[in-house]
Amino acid sequence: MLQNPLDVDPTIDVIFKIASGIFWSITYLLILRRGFADKSYGMPMVALCANLSWEFIFSFVHPHSTPQLYVDYAWLALDAGILVQYLMYGKKEFSEHLPGEFFYPGFLLTLALSFLFILLLSREFNDLNGVYAAFGQNLLMSVLFIHLLLKRNSPLGQSLYIALSKMIGTLFPSVLLYMYFPGSYLLVLLYVSIFIFDMIYLLLLYLKMKGAGINPWARL
């Protein structure tokens, strides 16, 4: 449970939240662009379900205060677009491993469990701002991006700019939350772990594109 936050200048709080909102929105927009260009989905399904659940819960069930609430609305709208992309392009890859008729039930089950897990985690730990859930699923997303790259053995649906925007978008709230709760060692572990896996993903993605004869910086 996060208690007794330190004082942080309100202007810094707003700036860091808006900066995080901008870079994560850029991440989602780039995923949408790359996905339509490659005719594939760019966000792993479990990460997408977690994002949609978190954004819905903290927009409507336990709404954040502004400006974070407006950021949540924007993220939810963008992730809804990524959802459409996953439903359009995801079944083909899914069918390579499991029968296609499990595609929609599997997605709905994952979405329902993600929603319940995030909701109950936040209530159990009295964390109605969703901090633990946000950084926990961010770490999960970092690992899943690596898994997606290795599974496909190609940069399909991905770009260095997506990876960089995600990493920068995470650094802002990491620093902000550290200013509020410098004594939370669990959060510090999450911040550091996310950064490490994001750097690993960047390196692997760069090497994969170079190996495929793709200029990593020309692939938007």
pLDDT digits (tens, 9 = 90+) for 79-128: 999 999 999 999 998 888 788 899 999 999 999 999 999 999 999 999 99
- In percent, the amount of the chain with pLDDT more than 70 equals 100
Model confidence over 159-172: pLDDT tens digits? 999 999 999 999 99
pTM: 0.94
Say whether pLDDT at 2 is over 90.
no
Non-local (6+) Cβ contacts of 163 within 8 A are 145, 198, 201, 202, 205
- Per the listing, tokens 């690992």 go with 143
SS3 for 35-104 is HHHHCCCCCCHHHHHHHHHHHHHHHHHCCCCCCHHHHHHHHHHHHHHHHHHHHHHHHHHHCCCCCHHHHH
Q: Is the pLDDT of residue 58 over 80?
A: yes
Is residue 4 very low, low, confident or very high in pLDDT (cuts 50, 70, 90)? confident
Please answer whether residues 31 and 81 qualify as being in contact, where contact means their C-beta atoms are separated by less than 8 angstroms: no
**Domain residue ranges in the chain:** 10-211
